[in-house]
Amino acid sequence: MKQKYSPMMMQYLKIKEQNQDSIVMFRLGDFYEMFFDDAIVVSKALDLALTGKNAGAKERVPMCGVPFHSVSGYIQKLIDLGHKVAIVEQLSDPGKKGIVERGVVQIITPGTIMDASLNEKRNNYIGALGVFDFNYTLAYCDISTGEFYVVNFDKQAHLLKNHIDALGLKEIVVNDRSLSFDDVFVSFYENDKFNEGYKKIFDSITDLKEIKICSLLLNYMIETQKRELSHMQAIQEVKTEDYIYMDSYTKKSLELVKNADHESYGTLQWLLDETKCAMGGRLLRQWIERPLVNREKIEKRMDIIELLIDNFIERETMKDIINDIYDLEKLAGRIAFGNVNARDLKWIGSSLKVIPELKHQLLALDHPDTNQLAQQLIDLSHITSLIDEAIVDNPPLTIKEGGLIKQGYSQELDELRYIRDNGKQWLSEFEQKEREKTGIKGLKIGYNRVFGYYIEVTKSYLSMVKDEFEYTRKQSISNAERFVTPELKEMEAKILSANDKMVALEYEIFVQIRDYIKKDVHLIQDVASVVAQIDVYQSLANKASQNGYVRPTFNDHHTMHIENGRHGVIEQVISRQNYVPNDLNIKEDEPILLITGPNMGGKSTYMRQIALCVIMAQIGSFVPCDQADLPIFDQIFTRIGASDDLISGQSTFMVEMLEANNALRYASRDSLIIFDEIGRGTATFDGMAIAQSMIEYIATSIQCITLFSTHYHELTMMDESFHIQNVHASASVEGDKIVFLYKIKPGRSHRSYGINVAQLAKLPDAVIERSKVILQSLENNNIETVISEKVEMPSTIQKESAVEKALERIDPMALSPLDALSTLIELKKLL
């Protein structure tokens, strides 16, 4: 590189050349500075002032900067905008001669954020993808908690998309530059060599493809973070056959963890989440995303939940204990990562201190499952004792400015503190002695960073300063002179030296404590894992107890029986007293339920509540009903609600067909299909034909339990040929007014009540009346007559009433109270 700029700028350019895909944040004193194109990009992105710097060339170099103490917020914004950020720190003492040594200490990417909130109830995963002849291998990790997983699945694009969406991957590492993904940051990296230093975390996986892709991800994280990641947990292989398969459409339509506005309100997670710590919240989300298919594992979860429901006092005590436990998973990660502070250590100490009491409460339940959990809560009192002995109760957030370590922990530190504290006493006594010796009452001892300690004498007393005092003039200011003496300089050296040594020693002791705890990071993680499980169990038990949920039973007969089932989320919003419950009875020889009835009559809610009941049951939760006997489902497919995918240019009907296609192609006899009004996005006869052929295909080829709602009443005639059970959402019409009963009853609905619903929406009377005429003609098959018939529609849909005319003539401000009352009576008569 040709020498054109100053040595510091040449240093920057060399680092930038090695990190061309990153925004380089270059530490200069108390700021991180960015230069050249980086400065232009960042100034626009973060709305910062773009300035210039003289860097040895004729032109000024573009520059912008952010304070080091608030840099994390700026970094987060850049990451959200899809940038990588390389952090360059000063690696040598700025006081030494020559240019300060600098280097990249960390590259922050969308998947490697470590400064995220401790209370986040969702994981921030980074993934690595391997593409092989017949399958995909996806490794994924949350670097903040150390959780590490790997999954293999068939080489099908929809399965890959589903995994990426379900995990919410922020970044994917690939070794093939041709790969790209919508809305996901892609990082190219090639080093997939096995790292012997991390051999232990690979113990549970043997597949060479999995080892290769996990190594790719691990090496990338080590490379970007520029440090060892000793908090990585043992890699867990996720077997897709162990969990219910649900595609992205299904999770979206059932609003499991996100509603239509991408918020948590009104979701299944929102309903069930009574967890008291972030670890429990994250685990509950994982359970909801991946319901089990193993009956034994489901029943084990339910056993513990039932035990907690029956033992209210122990459950409430455990809830209170967990409420005092901080995010141990992320705190353990910070210890290993090296970005933990003294306050974090105090949080770890206070969290671990309550673990013995949590263990005691579990043992008090005296059940094999809870005893097993209790045994995993190992004694970590050596960590809590050390933190209690060493760290002050309210430590500062910084770890390099002292004030961290308790009196009495280190003899050397205590001695330095004695010199510092007695130095202050000595200075006070010295000041008094000098006043008496000189007779100068206004004499005082001061300090600044440039001159150190000094004696200050105002100019009015200068004549009293004599040679025998050995005062050496140090500085003149507007109204005083400052002096030093040999005695004062000697004490200054002791005090300042003690203070510098004390700060350095405190940091050294803190690092020793951190490294001591670091050896047991995996023990802390093990305890955190158990706490998270207990938290989810108490949350589900609490919710079941509050809302009257029951424990479902399971059968092997492809039958479903739900008595007084409810939609858990809706009843929470409108109150249980106002919710109309419904039954479900599906026999093995009639697996398809055809649901008819009016719009707004409750068909979609009914189908959603069945799906949510199944998911709740298979995560191990109790369910909102009086009784439930269910099969174990392997997959759930839904097509509920109409939504155009405008971004990719797909119509409602096309989206509908794509979603339905997944179900028809991949469902098995053990799957659950929920279709809501398939075919309504196209011409009536086309839609009906498609809907009927789908029902026939499900009935003959798949034979799985299916809930199919429709407005095509002709389809209800299929019941005898295809073993279909007809039910309908009931409603009653009183005069022209429709009343929704929200009750699902046996048999077909004989009408759709569409005009009544239109009336409810207050369409103009003329439109309603005309639609009744048209409907009558259509029902009589007089379609051509209806279309050719010329109808005189009124020019104004609603005439002005006598009341409105009278109101126009009234000036309310001119009426006395008595006149106003009289006028109101007249208007009432007119009405």
Q: At what angle do helices 278-289 and 603-619 cross, to 10 degrees?
A: 120
Contacts of 346 (CB under 8 A, 6+ apart): 387, 391, 393, 395
565 is in an annotated binding site: no
From the list 695, 683, 689, the residue with the least C-alpha distance to 724 is 695
604 is in an annotated binding site: yes
Contacts for 247-253 with beta carbons within 8 Å, 24 or more apart?
247/158, 247/162, 247/637, 247/659, 247/662, 248/161, 248/162, 248/165, 248/166, 249/638, 249/639, 249/659, 249/662, 250/636, 250/637, 250/638, 251/165, 251/166, 251/289, 253/608, 253/638, 253/639, 253/640, 253/641
- With residue 34 as reference, give the H or E element that holds it: strand 31-35
607 is in an annotated binding site: no
Q: How far is CA 360 from the centre of its chain?
A: 32
Strand arrangement, sheet containing 553-555: 553-555, 627-631, 560-565, 582-586
Beta strands in 577-626 (DSSP E): 582-586, 592-596
Q: Are the beta carbons of 534 and 276 closer than 8 angstroms?
A: no
From the list 505, 675, 664, 506, the residue with the least C-alpha distance to 604 is 675
- With residue 680 as reference, give the H or E element that holds it: none
97 is in an annotated binding site: no
d(CA 749, CA 594): 10
CB atoms within 10 A of CB 28: 18
601 is in an annotated binding site: yes
Contacts of 430 (CB under 8 A, 6+ apart): 445, 487, 488, 491
The radius of gyration of the chain's CA atoms, rounded to the nearest angstrom, is: 37
- Tokens 């759930």 correspond to 636
d(CA 492, CA 509): 25
Amino acid at 1: M
CB atoms within 10 A of CB 231: 23
- Determine the number of helices (DSSP H) and then strands (DSSP E) in the chain: 28, 27
649 is in an annotated binding site: no
How far is the CA of 639 from the CAs of 64, 247, 652, in angstroms? 51, 11, 11
- Token pair of 456 as six digits: 């200050």
d(CA 305, CA 803): 64
Contacts of 98 (CB under 8 A, 6+ apart): none
CB atoms within 10 A of CB 97: 4
The annotated binding site is made up of 597-604
The annotated binding site for ATP is made up of 597-604
